[in-house]
Amino acid sequence: MHTEIAPPANFIRQIVEDDLHSGKHKTVVTRFPPEPNGYLHIGHAKSIWLNFSLAQAFGGVCHLRMDDTNPLKEDAEYVEAIKRDVRWLGFDWGDKEYHAADYFQEFYDCAVQLIKLGKAYVCDLSADEVREYRGTLTEPGRPSPWRERSVEENLELLSRMKNGDFADGTRTLRAKIDMASPNINLRDPAIYRIRKAHHHRAGDAWCIYPMYDYAHCISDSIEGITHSICTLEFENHRPLYDWFLDTLELPVHPQQIEFSKLKLQYTMLGKRKLREMVEGGLVAGWDDPRMPTLAGLRRRGYTPEAIRDLCEKVGVTKSEVWTELSYLSECVRNDLNTKAHRVMGVLRPLKLVLTNYPEGQIEELDAAYFPEDVGLPGSRKVPFGRELFIEQEDFMENPPKKYFRLQPGAEVRLRRAYIIKCQEVIKNEAGEVVEVHCTYDPDTKSGGSGEHRKVKGTIHWVEATTSVTAEVRLYEELFTVEQPDNIKDGDFRDFLNPHSLVVLEARLERSLFPSKVGDRFQFERQGFFIKDLDSTAEKPVFNRIVPLKDGWAKVLQKQ
């Protein structure tokens, strides 16, 4: 019998399940409502994943809605970037693409309705005055002198606001709720402000634009959203969300549910600051592989599967948490482990000469693309010869205890080739090792009859004359503090990690040369890498996605 694995439980899924059971809803409709004013980042990924996978799980749909009610901040350029990123993450909104701007007329009609109900008024107070009248966290506000205008006057004024009769900022339409509410959001919040600005979608049709709290709930209702999922900072807005929908005569009343956003240690997700990073040239762009943007993660080589996996694993709650980076890394490694071809690349080359190997001879060795436990087929030929490159750190003249790699007089296996023995160390005038001379044991060839002879260490290598020179970019976290969004004293720029990017001139095995941009590999014993779009015909460029776990580093730490 086939046992279904229960989908990961969380409180939102529980609410949906209950609503379906009780008959409150027949289907689930969620939405992902980004404001097109910047690039999506990994925090948004969780929201995208939550909304889409929730709908998916119950056979419902998820809408993609551009929350574009502020013409001053938004741009059509971002709309395309957002759609590309959502698609890349693996989600499909079908024909359910919506724009809050397309509801401008409905918003207006609702405003007229509110005025007629005596629940909204045009207020002539300036922004500063409104602030004064609002009161403080501990003191109640006072009613605006314009609060009791007649319905007729309000209607007339709103119409003129819409038509552009008044200057920006001179008036607002406000909901008439409760100036003494302990919840400041209920102290007659603004519904419309005057903005004689061009809208990227609506053009110049409107001189007034609706506020988020007002537009969002109506948009949800218009679209028949059943569960309106948002992050914790909107919790105090829920009474307002409900007030609008209860007061207005709208077809459906979606339920707003809040969850805590995904935050990662050493990662800054503030939109404004990310923009400063890009515009200040602190990174190479929105898609810099160090950036937490989806564009950056994509270029870095992270897979959508890994990001979805992380979202699923960290779960959905209301506790504000900082997730460790190791969680993400592990999701990435876990995904790539069964996907990435194993190849050999030497990041910091050291020349190695096999003094007993025939000069000019090159032999082609069989090399499987996957280890046995992965069990996937495929292999290529790897050239082997007298002159090779090995990793600098794989040779030590005076190694510490338990060092199993190459050292004077000792043997080591060259992966997929022969066992070699170190005979001589060549140094330059500065005393640095520049070359290592070894002999190889012809009987120990991998796949041959002598292959079972054991040595402690195996190192990777690349043949000198056939290997490819490549630029390899190693990445680390951009910041040196756990919570770069929370820096109390000082600027985030003071906490940039100077080693966040290290560029190396590496040597890669010949088979990597025809690889395509976006191809991912495991450079054995090093990590996972992706071919970057900066690659040229002469020189490929590889980004390190994530290093492999390093057991040796741990041994060293303990010593």
Partner RNA sequence: UGCCCAGUAGCCAAGUGGUAAGGCAACGGUCUCUGAAUCCGUCAUUCGUAGGUUCGAUCCCUACCUGGGCAGCCA
Under rule CB under 7 A, residue 169 binds RNA: yes
Pairing relation of β-strands 227-231 and 255-259? Answer: parallel
Q: Which of 285, 404, 495, 497 contacts RNA by CB under 7 A?
A: 404
Extract the tokens encoding 194.
């005057």
* Ranges within 204-263 binding RNA (CB under 7 A): 209-213, 215-216, 232-237, 260
Q: Mark 210-237 as b/e (b = at least 16 C-beta within 10 Å).
A: bbbbbbbbbbbbbbebbbbbbeeebeeb
Q: How far is it, in rounded angstroms, from Cα 215 to Cα 218? A: 5
Q: How many residues bind RNA (CB under 7 A)?
A: 99
Q: How far is it, in rounded angstroms, from Cα 253 to Cα 218? A: 9
Q: Considering beta carbons, is residue 231 or 535 the nearer one to RNA?
A: 231
CB of 414 to RNA, least distance (A): 7
What is the CA 137 to chain-centroid distance, rounded? 36
Q: Which of 242, 324, 363, 435 contacts RNA by CB under 7 A?
A: 324
* Ranges within 11-40 binding RNA (CB under 7 A): 11, 14, 33, 35
Q: How far is it, in rounded angstroms, from Cα 326 to Cα 313? A: 13
Under rule CB under 7 A, residue 84 binds RNA: no
* Ranges within 509-528 binding RNA (CB under 7 A): 522, 524-525
* Ranges within 364-403 binding RNA (CB under 7 A): 370-371, 373-374, 402-403
Q: Considering beta carbons, is residue 28 or 316 the nearer one to RNA?
A: 316
Q: Binding marks (x or -) toward RNA, 448..467, rule CB under 7 A?
A: ---x--x--xxxx-------
Q: How far is it, in rounded angstroms, from Cα 235 to Cα 216? A: 14
CB of 376 to RNA, least distance (A): 11
* Ranges within 108-147 binding RNA (CB under 7 A): 125-127, 130-131, 134, 136-138
Q: In terms of Cα–Cα distance, which of 348, 107, 309 is closest to 217?
A: 107
CB of 282 to RNA, least distance (A): 22
Under rule CB under 7 A, residue 270 binds RNA: no
Q: How far is it, in rounded angstroms, from Cα 43 to Cα 40? A: 8
Q: In terms of Cα–Cα distance, which of 292, 413, 437, 229 is closest to 353?
A: 437
CB of 465 to RNA, least distance (A): 21
CA torsion angle 315 261 61 252 (round to 10): 120
CB of 540 to RNA, least distance (A): 20
Per DSSP, 323 falls in state B
CB of 476 to RNA, least distance (A): 16
What residues pair up with 535 in beta bridges, in sequence order?
none
Q: Considering beta carbons, is residue 334 or 355 the nearer one to RNA?
A: 334
3-state class (DSSP) for residue 411:
strand
Q: Binding marks (x or -) toward RNA, 281..320, rule CB under 7 A?
A: --------------------------------xxxxxxxx
3-state class (DSSP) for residue 175:
strand
Under rule CB under 7 A, residue 322 binds RNA: yes
CB of 155 to RNA, least distance (A): 19
* Ranges within 536-555 binding RNA (CB under 7 A): 548-552, 554-555
Q: Which residues contact 176 (CB under 8 A, 6 or more apart)?
A: 118, 119, 120, 121, 147, 188
Segment contacting RNA by CB under 7 A, of 3-11, 112-120, 156-164, 534-542: 3-11
Q: Which residues contact 95 (CB under 8 A, 6 or more apart)?
A: none
Under rule CB under 7 A, residue 165 binds RNA: no
Segment contacting RNA by CB under 7 A, of 178-186, 242-250, 279-287, 503-511: 178-186
Q: Which of 423, 446, 466, 480 contacts RNA by CB under 7 A?
A: 446
Q: Largest Cα–Cα distance of the chain, in whole Å? A: 102
Q: Considering beta carbons, is residue 283 or 546 the nearer one to RNA?
A: 546
Q: Considering beta carbons, is residue 191 or 277 the nearer one to RNA?
A: 191
Q: Considering beta carbons, is residue 288 or 293 the nearer one to RNA?
A: 293
Q: Which residues contact 230 (CB under 8 A, 6 or more apart)?
A: 256, 257, 258, 259
Under rule CB under 7 A, residue 196 binds RNA: no
Q: Where are the alpha helices (DSSP H) in 317-366?
A: 325-337
Under rule CB under 7 A, residue 171 binds RNA: yes
For the residues of 294-315, what is the DSSP string, one character each?
A: HHHHHHHT--HHHHHHHHHHH-
Q: In terms of Cα–Cα distance, which of 248, 322, 251 is closest to 477?
A: 322
CB of 533 to RNA, least distance (A): 26
Pairing relation of β-strands 208-210 and 190-194? Answer: antiparallel
What residues pair up with 470 in beta bridges, in sequence order?
506
* Ranges within 334-363 binding RNA (CB under 7 A): 334, 337, 342
Residue 159's φ and ψ, nearest 5 degrees, are -60, -40
CB of 315 to RNA, least distance (A): 4
Under rule CB under 7 A, residue 88 binds RNA: no
Under rule CB under 7 A, residue 183 binds RNA: yes
Q: Which of 190, 425, 501, 504 contacts RNA by CB under 7 A?
A: 190
Q: Considering beta carbons, is residue 489 or 538 the nearer one to RNA?
A: 489
Nearest 5 degrees, angle CA 282-CA 283-CA 289? 155
Under rule CB under 7 A, residue 321 binds RNA: yes
